[in-house]
């Protein structure tokens, strides 16, 4: 795949460059609570601005139903991008209509515009090839060149990710080049010991990647809500903890495969429990108790790995040469249940190996808990994309950038 450096060498002054970014930032009303994804695209945008391109940035945000919805407007992201660039950023109030056409036409060399949420147009996410293609045609009319830099969306077969690159000269931005380089370190030339820590709510979201990792990783550490399906598969009492009963047979099979293949599969030895799920807005103290992982009271639910497990997992990460972490260890948004996730994050910081935080909630947790992002080898901007890459899937957005 061609990179932005090749594009810059060819010259972009005066050209309209469409940058498919991932500005899908979390919002509290109109306030951005984590601008990590906006900052991630800055190197690409700045390079194009400095080279005199007319930069047209486009992205999705949330999951609107193919029609405009003020709750999912990209206006706050456009404003923040302007602050980070320390310069004006024009904002189009539509994707391919009159405002978009006028906004792009009004750009001078070295200026930036942001289009409104791509998913306000049903053609962006349509499963119909013709409908997606028609929307891609309209987007293509706004640009001369395409730069893909929205790694968090490359696993989606969407118009701006998959169809549009075929209609324009296309290049990978700095973020995508970096993300792919990092993922190759986790799949092609892995330094060992290779330890993977997986958390998050649903075990079903991680089964395919666990299937792949059982043949590649040296250790798998399991936490988060998904851990309780593993504990149930071991025959433990898990009370009212999150459980995917239909996944228990598959999990039992993976536990057996891990034993046979020599992969160390590490489960919690203690957990923090409470009778109800905490209020994440009020964050009032809930006074959890710590119990053994095989003895959760029938009327209580596990909400974080316990202190012994945090220490255990840190020890399993200490000698790692390569670490991939995806998914928090507990309900980190509440201070009562953040320590398990903090323990894993701190272990990655302390590790001398190459550490990758696999996007999504893990990246949010690192920032929420106050860790220095530079203390990690890499923080991915795409949790789902990272997992599908590790599963060995072909990612549509990456395939579209190949020549």
Show which residues are catalytic: 37, 202, 360, 384
Cβ-contact 383, 358 below 8 angstroms:
yes
If you search the block for the tokens 């201070």, which residue do you land on? 335
- β-pairing, 89-91 with 112-114? parallel
Q: Tokens at residue 400, please?
A: 């579209």
Report the b/e string of 204-215 with b at 16+ CB within 10 A: ebbbebbeebbe
| Cα separations in angstroms, 380 against 81, 238, 297, 401 | 19, 32, 37, 19
| Cα separations in angstroms, 110 against 10, 15, 48, 326 | 16, 10, 7, 37
The residues facing 55 across adjacent strands are: 17, 112
Q: Tokens at residue 52, please?
A: 């005199």
């Amino acid at each position: 795949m061609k990179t932005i450096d090749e594009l810059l060498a060819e010259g972009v002054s005066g050209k309209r460059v469409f940058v498919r970014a991932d500005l899908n930032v979390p919002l509290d009303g109109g306030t951005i609570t984590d601008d990590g994804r906006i900052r991630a695209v800055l190197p690409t945008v700045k390079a194009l601005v400095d080279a005199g391109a007319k930069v047209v940035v486009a992205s999705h945000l949330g999951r609107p139903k193919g029609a405009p919805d003020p709750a999912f407007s990209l206006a706050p992201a456009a404003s923040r991008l302007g602050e980070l660039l320390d310069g004006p950023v024009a904002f189009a109030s539509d994707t391919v209509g009159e405002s978009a056409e006028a906004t792009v036409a009004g750009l001078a060399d070295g200026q930036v515009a942001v289009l409104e949420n791509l998913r306000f147009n049903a053609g962006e996410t349509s499963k119909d090839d013709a409908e997606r293609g028609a929307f891609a045609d309209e987007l293509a009319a706004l640009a001369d060149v395409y730069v893909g830099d929205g790694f968090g969306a490359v696993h989606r077969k969407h118009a701006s990710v998959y169809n549009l690159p075929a209609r324009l000269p296309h290049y990978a931005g700095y973020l995508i080049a970096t993300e792919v380089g990092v993922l190759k370190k986790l799949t092609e030339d892995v330094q060992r010991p290779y330890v993977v820590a997986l958390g998050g709510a649903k075990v079903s979201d991680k089964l395919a990647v666990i299937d792949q990792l059982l043949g590649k990783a040296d250790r798998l550490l399991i936490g988060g809500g998904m851990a309780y399906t593993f504990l149930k598969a071991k025959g433990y009492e898990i009370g009212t903890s999150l459980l995917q009963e239909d996944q228990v047979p598959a999990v039992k099979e993976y536990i057996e495969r891990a034993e046979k293949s020599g992969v160390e599969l590490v489960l919690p030895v203690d957990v923090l429990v409470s009778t109800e799920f905490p209020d994440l807005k009020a964050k009032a103290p809930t006074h959890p108790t710590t119990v053994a992982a095989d003895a959760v009271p029938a009327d209580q639910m596990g909400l974080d790995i316990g202190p012994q497990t945090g220490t255990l997992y840190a020890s399993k990460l200490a000698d790692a040469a390569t670490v991939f972490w995806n998914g928090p260890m507990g309900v980190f948004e509440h201070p009562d249940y953040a320590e398990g996730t903090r323990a894993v994050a701190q272990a990655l910081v302390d590790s001398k190996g190459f550490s990758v935080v696999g996007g999504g909630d893990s990246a949010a947790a690192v920032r929420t808990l106050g860790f220095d992002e530079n203390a990690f080898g890499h923080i991915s901007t795409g949790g789902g994309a990272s997992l599908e890459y590790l599963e060995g899937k072909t990612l549509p957005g990456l395939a579209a950038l190949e020549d």
